[in-house]
Amino acid sequence: MNLTANIAGFNFDHILLNAAGVVCQTSDELDSVLASDYTGAVVTKSATPSLRPGNVSPRYHELTNGLGTINSMGLPNEGFDYYMDYVTQKQTDKPIFFSVAGLSKQENLDMLHKIEESEFNGLVELNLSCPNVPGKPQTAYDSETTEEILTEVFSFFTKPLGVKLPPYFDIVHFDNIANILNKFPLAFVNAINSIGNGLVIDEETDTVVIKPKGGFGGVGGPIVKATALANVRALRQRLNPSIKMVGTGGVTSGRDVYEHVLCGADLVEVGSQLAIEGTSVFERLEKELAAILTEKGYNSLDEVRGQLKIIE
C-alpha cells in the first residue's frame, strides 16, 4: 500500500504527523513524533521570538463526551532559538516543518529572515491563525494584512513556505483567501487551526472549563471535522495545483484521514486526538486507513486524493 506524499520536493513516507502545538513543544516531544514508524514528518510548536509561558491554567480541557477539546494555551513555547537549534541539528530522514507565529508582522519577518539566512533545509509553516493570544486577532481573517505580510515575506524568502489558516465559514471568504494565496509561490496551505473562541460549560458547576479570556478558547476534535473538511475541499478547489494541502481538524479515525484525502489533503495532521491518545494514535490511524483502501480496492492515496463525489 502506497501511503506517501510529496510537497515541494520533500518525500513523505507516511501521510500522518502531529498538528502544531500538540506533542511538539520540547525536543523530547518532537523526538517522540519522529520516532513513530507511522509519521511522515513532524511540525514544531509555533515559535515566537522569545520564550513564552502562555496563558494561565486551566487552559486546556477535554470534553467529557469525546466531542473534542477546547484550549487557550496562548502560544507557550521555548522561543525561536530553541526550535532553530532543534530543526538545524536534528538528524532525521523525515522532513521537519518549522512553525512560526510572530505576534506582529515585524516579528514574523524577523524570524523568517533568520530562517532564510540559516542552514535550515525543511519547510516553514507561517501560523496566521492563532486564536488564543488576548488582544491579537487571527491575522488570516484580515485579507489586507495577510496579503501585505506575504508580499513582504516573498520579497526575500526563498525556502519552501506554507501558511496555517483559520477556518472560514462563507463561500465568499473561501474565494477571497484563495485569490490572495494564489498570488504567492506557497508550497502548501494547512487548514484548519482550531475554531476560535468557542465556549464550553461544565454541567455540574455551570462554570466555564478554562480560565483565560473568560472561558473562550479554540475548539478542536470531532466537533470541528465538518468545518475542517469543508475548508480543505473549498481551498483545494480554488488554489493553484502547485500549492499542496495539509488537512487538519477532527481526525480520530482512519475514516477521518480518508475523508481529508478525498477532499484533497496531501498530508493529514492530528491534534486533539494525539493529545488524548498519545503517539500510538499514528499506528492505529494508518492501519485503519490502509484497511479502508484495501477494502475499496485502492493501491495508493493518489487514486483517492481529491476524488470526493458530489450528487449531480
Residues recognised as catalytic: 130
Question: From the CB of 294, what's the least distance to ligand FMN, in Å?
Answer: 25
- Alpha carbon dihedral 284, 290, 293, 296, in 10-degree steps, equals -80
Q: Does 127 bind ligand FMN (CB under 6 A)?
A: yes
Binding segment (CB under 6 A) for ligand FMN, from list 190-198, 206-214, 259-267, 280-288: 190-198
Would you call 281 helix, strand, or coil by DSSP?
helix
Q: How many whole angstroms separate alpha carbon 218 and alpha carbon 227?
A: 13
Question: From the CB of 243, what's the least distance to ligand FMN, in Å?
Answer: 18
Q: How many whole angstroms separate alpha carbon 3 and alpha carbon 139?
A: 33
Residue of minimal CB distance from ligand FMN? 21
Which of 212, 207, 303 is closest to 262 using CA atoms?
303
Question: From the CB of 45, what's the least distance to ligand FMN, in Å?
Answer: 5
Q: Does 69 bind ligand FMN (CB under 6 A)?
A: yes
Instruction: Tell which one of 46, 72, 139, 146 touches ligand FMN (CB under 6 A).
Output: 46
Q: How many whole angstroms separate alpha carbon 99 and alpha carbon 18?
A: 12
Q: How many whole angstroms separate alpha carbon 152 and alpha carbon 162?
A: 14
Number of residues that bind ligand FMN (CB under 6 A): 29
Q: Using CB under 6 A as the criterion, what x/- string covers residues 86-105 for binding ligand FMN?
A: -------------x------
- Alpha carbon dihedral 269, 299, 290, 38, in 10-degree steps, equals -50
Question: From the CB of 43, what's the least distance to ligand FMN, in Å?
Answer: 8
Residue 95, by phi and psi: left (phi above 0), alpha (psi -120 to 50) or beta?
Answer: beta
- Helix, strand, coil shares, percent, the chain, to 5: 35, 20, 45
Q: Binding to ligand FMN (CB under 6 A): which residues in 227-256? A: 248-251
Instruction: Tell which one of 95, 160, 198, 220 touches ligand FMN (CB under 6 A).
Output: 220
Q: Which chain residues interact with ligand FMN by CB under 6 A?
A: 19-22, 45-46, 60, 69, 71, 73, 75, 99, 127, 164, 192-194, 220-221, 224, 248-251, 270-273, 275
